[in-house]
């Protein structure tokens, strides 16, 4: 057995790898099948065969930020902007519940229109439906996060995007790496289930940097990790960059599963966008969550963080039918519970 294979096999039991081991595994594509197989075994042992479906509502694409990779960035004047009303959001949450989804994920650009009171009103109403609620609405103050928690929000997704501070600063004009970390720490302190993650294949991002991202997830003791390939988006400063590959994103995800064996990991849309059935490959390489989009057709078309997003031409009902079939074809089942992070000691 090569050293790398024995490191992977060892990590299946110890859930620990060094930065240099992770970097070497990321560099060497001859160990991919073994890595994916090990992550799949660890997923099965710790979180079982159930797949959690979380209904995604993209309720506003208006954003005050200028993240260089994202089509929703403020300076992209070609983006067609929309903002849902309170009633529209609640209607979609009810639709998600009717589909049998136990969690709703509310995602948006950083839209100041949704101030603390408006957000809390939405949160309270969704919680009366008996759903678990995840927020993915960006950087806020401790007080805002506390208000969301007090209103009943259960989880919060905020990707670190990259732990390379220099790269982070280059890609996020007028934002600070320190504030990103502060947000994640505040969310932890307040008792949210915290999700973070990174973009894979950013310009000048090395395998060593990705290894550090994975070790950061472990140090943060994250409850969920969502990651995917960076896909270049027209009308953004990174439009001519190469972008990430599905394989590298799957490798980062599989290594994350080895190191954080009991967390929730979604098979992301960006993976499916790069390759048909990318999401199924992810489910066989460590993932145990899928986030079907319940956003209505018109808004979904305008939530263009990158081009060619998978699922744009399917209705929510069609999407649900097809994903359930695919999941069952893998011998996996759809979870009937809320899918909170069940920590195993
Ligand atoms: N505004 C919130 C935030 O940034 O956390 C939530 C919405 S944002 C669109 C959700 C995620 O989309 C980001 O964390 C980022 O990783 C991802 N994203 C943005 N542009 C992308 C691109 N070009 N390729 C792949 N993922 C992208
Ligand atoms: Fe706005 Fe989020 Fe896109 Fe950044 S990644 S521009 S915060 S929507």
Centroid of ligand 2 to alpha carbon of 253 (angstroms): 22
Our answer on whether the CB atom of 59 is closer than 6 Å to any ligand 1 atom is: no
Residue 285 has pLDDT above 80, yes or no: yes
Tens digits of per-residue pLDDT, 326-335?
999 999 999 9
Instruction: Give CA–CA dist 140/116, Å, rounded.
Output: 10
The predicted pLDDT at position 344 comes to 78
The predicted pLDDT at position 135 comes to 98
Angle between helices 207-220 and 246-259 (to 10 degrees): 30
Per DSSP (E only), the strands in the chain are 50-60, 103-108, 132-136, 155-157, 193-196, 199-200, 224-225, 228-229, 289-290, 333-334
Q: How confident is the model at residue 345 (pLDDT cuts 50, 70, 90)?
A: low
- To which residue do tokens 């110890």 refer? 14
Collapsed DSSP state (helix, strand, coil) of residue 124: helix
Our answer on whether the CB atom of 21 is closer than 6 Å to any ligand 1 atom is: no
Residue 263 has pLDDT above 70, yes or no: yes
Our answer on whether the CB atom of 270 is closer than 6 Å to any ligand 1 atom is: yes
Our answer on whether the CB atom of 111 is closer than 6 Å to any ligand 2 atom is: no
Instruction: Give CA–CA dist 146/123, Å, rounded.
Output: 13
Work out which ligand 1 atom sits closest to the CA atom of 238: 23
Our answer on whether the CB atom of 236 is closer than 6 Å to any ligand 1 atom is: no
Q: What is the mean pLDDT of residues 231-260?
A: 98
Instruction: Give CA–CA dist 29/153, Å, rounded.
Output: 40
Take residue 293 and report the two structure tokens written for it.
């989009």
The predicted pLDDT at position 1 comes to 66
Instruction: Give CA–CA dist 265/225, Å, rounded.
Output: 5
Collapsed DSSP state (helix, strand, coil) of residue 243: coil
The predicted pLDDT at position 268 comes to 96
Centroid of ligand 2 to alpha carbon of 299 (angstroms): 16
Centroid of ligand 1 to alpha carbon of 2 (angstroms): 37
The predicted pLDDT at position 124 comes to 98
Q: How confident is the model at residue 254 (pLDDT cuts 50, 70, 90)?
A: very high
């Amino acid at each position: 057995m090569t050293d790398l294979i024995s490191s992977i096999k060892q990590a299946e039991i110890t859930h620990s790898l060094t930065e240099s081991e992770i970097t070497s595994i990321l560099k060497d594509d001859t160990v991919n099948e073994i890595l994916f197989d090990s992550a799949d075994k660890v997923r099965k042992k710790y979180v079982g065969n159930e797949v959690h479906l979380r209904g995604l509502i993209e309720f506003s694409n208006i954003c005050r930020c200028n993240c260089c990779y994202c089509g929703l960035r403020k300076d992209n004047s070609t983006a067609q902007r929309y903002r849902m009303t309170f009633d529209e959001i609640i209607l979609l949450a009810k639709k998600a519940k009717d589909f049998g989804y136990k969690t709703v994920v509310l995602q948006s650009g950083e839209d100041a229109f949704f101030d603390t009171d408006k957000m809390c009103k939405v949160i309270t109403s969704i919680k009366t439906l008996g759903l678990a609620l995840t927020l993915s609405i960006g950087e806020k103050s401790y007080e805002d996060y506390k208000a969301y928690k007090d209103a009943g929000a259960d989880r919060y997704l905020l990707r670190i995007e990259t732990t390379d501070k220099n790269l982070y600063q280059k890609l996020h004009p007028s934002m600070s790496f320190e504030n990103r970390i502060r947000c994640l720490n505040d969310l932890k302190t307040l008792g949210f289930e915290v999700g973070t993650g990174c973009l894979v294949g950013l310009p000048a991002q090395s395998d060593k940097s990705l290894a550090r991202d994975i070790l950061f997830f472990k140090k943060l003791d994250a409850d969920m990790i969502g990651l995917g390939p960076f896909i270049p988006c027209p009308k953004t400063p990174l439009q001519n960059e190469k972008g990430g590959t599905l394989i590298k994103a799957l490798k980062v995800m599989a290594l994350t599963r080895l190191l954080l064996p009991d967390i929730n990991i979604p098979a992301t849309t960006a993976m499916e966008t790069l390759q048909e059935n990318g999401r199924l490959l992810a489910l066989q390489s460590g993932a145990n969550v899928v986030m079907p989009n319940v956003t209505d057709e018109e808004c979904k078309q305008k939530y263009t963080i990158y081009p060619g997003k998978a699922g744009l031409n399917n209705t929510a009902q069609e999407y649900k039918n097809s994903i359930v079939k695919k999941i069952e074809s893998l011998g996996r089942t759809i979870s009937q519970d809320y899918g909170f992070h069940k920590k195993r000691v």
